[in-house]
Amino acid sequence: MSATWRKSSYSDNIQECVEIADTCPGPIRIRDSKLDHATPSPCITATPSPWTTFLHALRAKKR
C-alpha cells in the first residue's frame, strides 16, 4: 500500500522533524523527515488506539 506522508504539525524545520502516514484503516506510520526518502526509510507503526492516546497526551501537555 502506498502511503501519503505529511509533516507533523509538532515538527520544526531544524531537529524535530516527524512525518506521519495515515493508512486508514491500517496502522499509523511514523518516520524521521530529515532522512533521504529516495529509498524506503525506516518507520515505526502504531495502531489507532495507542496513537490516539499519544496524541491526547501531547495535547494535554501543550496546555
Number of domains the chain is built from:
1
Q: Rounded CA gap, 17 and 26, in Å?
A: 23
C-beta separation of 28 from 45 below 8 A: yes
Domain containing 25: what range?
5-62
First to last CA, the chain: 36
Question: Looking at per-residue confidence, does 41 or 51 come out higher?
Answer: 51
pLDDT in tens, 6-46: 887 767 767 678 888 877 778 888 888 777 666 667 889 99
C-beta separation of 1 from 12 below 8 A: no
